[in-house]
Amino acid sequence: IQILAADWDYDQIVRCRWSYQYSLDECGSTCFDLPNAQLNPVDCAITWTPVLRSEDIANGLTESTYVVAITAEDFVNASSITPLSSVPHQILVHVSYKPVNACSTKPTVSGFPRRNLACYYGTPNSTYDYTFYGKIYCLNDSIVEFISTSPFRVQKGNIYQQSNYTWAISVIWTLPNNQTGLQPFCIAAVDNNGQTSDQHCVMIAVGASNPYIITPRFVQSTASPLGTVMATQSRFSIEIQSKDFSTISWRRYIEIYIYEMKIIYFIL
């Protein structure tokens, strides 16, 4: 379960934790309601194997609902243990048995122009058009809903079938001038059996700008990648000039392709 958390004012150190009941009561009776779940404080992702509540099983029920309470905090640096601010967050997790006729593979969703958990810029007073695709893997199934966590002024169209296995929906987002800051946007597809895809999320930094790439130059016999990089050129540098807006995902991605667009090296 991926929770998006980010900071707009350059602190950049954002961590998540379970909400607590001592000191300040952050969660009441919902503290640690998700049994045996693990929370990664850096990328704010919850790992959990779904189970029914024992009392629901005893009562003959086939579904359970849990309340998850976490708190996101920002820090002045990575070693600090004193948060600058704390924001509580609660979500509901619904668990039910898979229908006997459900496809063994859950649906998938795609359509954002960037990878999952990416952060990219958006321009105020602009309009962005997205088309999201939900794919099923059993012929008699269908996508019946696209659920989303989206910014203000997002408008969804109607779901339509694109092929035997793919359904789509068009989404338009018009950014007003005053809607600046980090805007989370998540989408997931739901099939006719109630199975939900993994959600795809991005963080859109409205009012930010793309990084400026500094003009390549030669430094100590190592060339920046301007034009053809020779086979004997084992070192080069790339420099950008911009403020770094960082979400909770600290991974950085570098990919190197040869001319046929075949990836030959990557750094995560």
Domain boundary among 178, 206, 234: 206
Q: Both 56 and 129 in a single domain?
A: no
The torsion defined by the Cα of 90, 95, 101 and 102, in degrees rounded to 10, comes to 30
Place of tokens 């379970």: 18
Instruction: Answer with the residue of higher pLDDT: 115 or 82.
Output: 82
**Structurally, how many domains does the chain consist of?**
2
Instruction: Answer with the residue of higher pLDDT: 238 or 158.
Output: 158
Identify each DSSP E strand in the chain by its residue range: 13-18, 38-40, 45-47, 63-75, 85-96, 108-110, 118-122, 127-135, 143-149, 154-156, 160-161, 166-174, 181-191, 200-206, 212-213, 218-219, 222-223, 240-241, 254-257, 263-267
Whether residue 248 lies inside any domain: the answer is no
Whether residue 31 lies inside any domain: the answer is yes
Whether residue 64 lies inside any domain: the answer is yes
Q: At 58, give phi and psi (nearest 5°).
A: -65, -30
Whether residue 253 lies inside any domain: the answer is no
Whether residue 168 lies inside any domain: the answer is yes
Q: Both 82 and 124 in a single domain?
A: no
Domain boundary among 206, 229, 250: 206
Question: Domain containing 38: what range?
Answer: 13-96
> What global pTM score does this model have?
0.73
Whether residue 46 lies inside any domain: the answer is yes
d(CA 184, CA 194): 24
Q: Both 120 and 201 in a single domain?
A: yes
Query: Could you read off the pLDDT of 169-194 as tens digits, one per residue?
Result: 999 998 888 888 888 899 999 999 99
Query: Could you read off the pLDDT of 61-108 as tens digits, one per residue?
Result: 999 999 999 999 999 888 888 999 899 899 999 999 888 889 999 999
Whether residue 256 lies inside any domain: the answer is no
Domain boundary among 206, 229, 251: 206
Q: Both 122 and 37 in a single domain?
A: no
Q: Both 80 and 25 in a single domain?
A: yes
d(CA 261, CA 41): 36
Beta bridge partners of 187: 148, 200
What is the torsional sign of CA 194, 110, 116, 202?
A: negative
SS3 56: helix
Q: Which residues contact 139 (CB under 8 A, 6 or more apart)?
A: 164, 165
Sorting pLDDT into bands at 50, 70 and 90, what band is 249?
Answer: very low
Whether residue 154 lies inside any domain: the answer is yes
Structure-block tokens of residue 213: 């790439």
Query: Could you read off the pLDDT of 6-42 as tens digits, one per residue?
Result: 776 655 688 999 998 877 788 888 888 898 999 999 8
